[in-house]
Amino acid sequence: MNQRIEERNQRTKWYQESRFGMFIHWGLYAIPARGEWVRSVERIPVEEYDKLQHEFSAEEYDPKKWAKLAKQAGMKYAVLTAKHHDGFCLFDSQYTDFKSTNTPCGRDLVAEFLEAFRAEGIKVGLYFSIIDWHHPDFPHYGDKQHPMRDNEEFKGKEHNFDNYLTYMHAQARELLTNYGKLDVMWFDFSYNDMQGEKWRATEFMQMVRELQPHIITDNRLEGSGEESGSILTANPTIYAGDFASPEQMIPPKGIVNELGDPVPWEACVTLNNNWGYAAEDKHYKSAKMIVHMLVDCVSKNGNLLLNVGPDAKGRIPEESVVILEEVGKWMSENANSIYGCGMAEFEKPEWGRYTQNGKKLYAHVFEEQTGAVCLSNLANQIDKMRFLKDGSEIRSAEYWNLKEYPDHAFFFLNSKTADSYPLPEEKDTVVEITLK
């Protein structure tokens, strides 16, 4: 096996056991409250956007509450946007005045986030945008998404991109140097010809590895949400990343490289339809849907990084809190089917998903069944079955109408055998199957 892949597998061991994380998009864009891309979408000039600094008080920011919520939901790691594409920093960067310590808030929000989440035993990560719409030397006119991409005033304006790269590298060094041990760096993002060595990516990753050798990174120094880059090859580059990052979707199957070997990955998904706070966006995913998404990811050897977008005052929306608390209730009884689990050795069932950890096979029953639940081709392979939530016994079914299918095992989710009953757990009823 390629040495880089071996090292990647060692670095990501904790990550692939954790399976569930919290993404937090927060910044000045919470004030207009129309999503984190508001400056680009609405072509807002820098002078107008900069005025938002004077309103950013974050008066109710309490990362201890965030951390407790993440822990209650069963999340094992969390990633905060230290800097998004608008260039505003939630940390005290010495290279810019466009930062939280230079607002009415007057606080290093990254430092407080890290302290609070570490205190709850949650591994910590920082999101860092490698593009920056605020910096004068980042390309403006003609760029794919810069707010001034269509503004004729910037046509022909020269930008010293090397100057920008020096700035970008220096800010990343600050985060990697001044805030103790970080577990994840989430870089975002490459596009068109803005990828790989355009960012001086080899030099960049050598710095990352020198400062924090253990840290894991995503694949977006060369990949994007549209394609994964060389992480899917047998010879990934030094900046290929440690995990792939499909966005707002769950891949049809587990992600593998060209040799068929598993590649660590996480689906990053919003809880409603926006990453940053959007006051009018009330289209939240249900707790049941979140549980199904998480199980689906784990059943394909992946993680779920679920996003919340706090408001301008620093509060996670109440709708998000209620959903995560409900997910947490399910996790409190069924976490063994998530943590440390991955793809099962058996084909995906029609009624839900399998996850597996060694001899423990977890049947996640999503749908009510007509009669018994069928465990295809598992006849004579089962030692015992128990409801995961309470350890109560489930017996293999040997009902008269099942005799015709000797290659399969069956069980009923109720003691009345063939009588029809609702699922014991409506979101996802989990049965722990111990294999022989």
At 151-207, the pLDDT tens digits run 999 999 999 999 999 999 999 999 999 999 999 999 999 999 999 999 999 999 999
Looking at the predicted structure, is the pLDDT value of residue 403 above 70?
Answer: yes
At 98-151, the pLDDT tens digits run 999 999 999 999 999 999 999 999 999 999 999 999 999 999 999 999 999 999
pLDDT of res. 226: 86
Helix H or strand E segment including 166: helix 161-178
Looking at the predicted structure, is the pLDDT value of residue 43 above 80?
Answer: yes
Beta-carbon contacts of residue 71 (< 8 Å; ≥ 6 apart):
120, 121, 122
pLDDT of res. 224: 85
Average pLDDT (19-30) is 98
pLDDT of res. 72: 98
Q: What's the whole-number average pLDDT of the chain?
A: 96
At 220-269, the pLDDT tens digits run 999 887 899 999 999 999 999 999 999 999 999 999 999 999 999 999 99
pLDDT of res. 327: 98
pLDDT of res. 418: 63
Beta-carbon contacts of residue 317 (< 8 Å; ≥ 6 apart):
277, 308, 309, 310, 311
Q: How far is CA 101 from the centre of its chain?
A: 27
Beta-carbon contacts of residue 157 (< 8 Å; ≥ 6 apart):
140, 141
pLDDT of res. 370: 87
At 52-79, the pLDDT tens digits run 999 999 999 999 999 999 999 999 999 9
Looking at the predicted structure, is the pLDDT value of residue 416 above 70?
Answer: no
pLDDT of res. 414: 82
Q: How far is CA 365 from the centre of its chain?
A: 24
Q: Which residue has the higher pLDDT, 201 or 416?
A: 201
The answer to whether 103 and 88 are in contact (CB under 8 A) is: no
SS3 337: helix
Q: Which two tokens stand for residue 210?
A: 């020198």
The answer to whether 204 and 239 are in contact (CB under 8 A) is: yes
CA distance 99 to 361: 49
Looking at the predicted structure, is the pLDDT value of residue 295 above 80?
Answer: yes
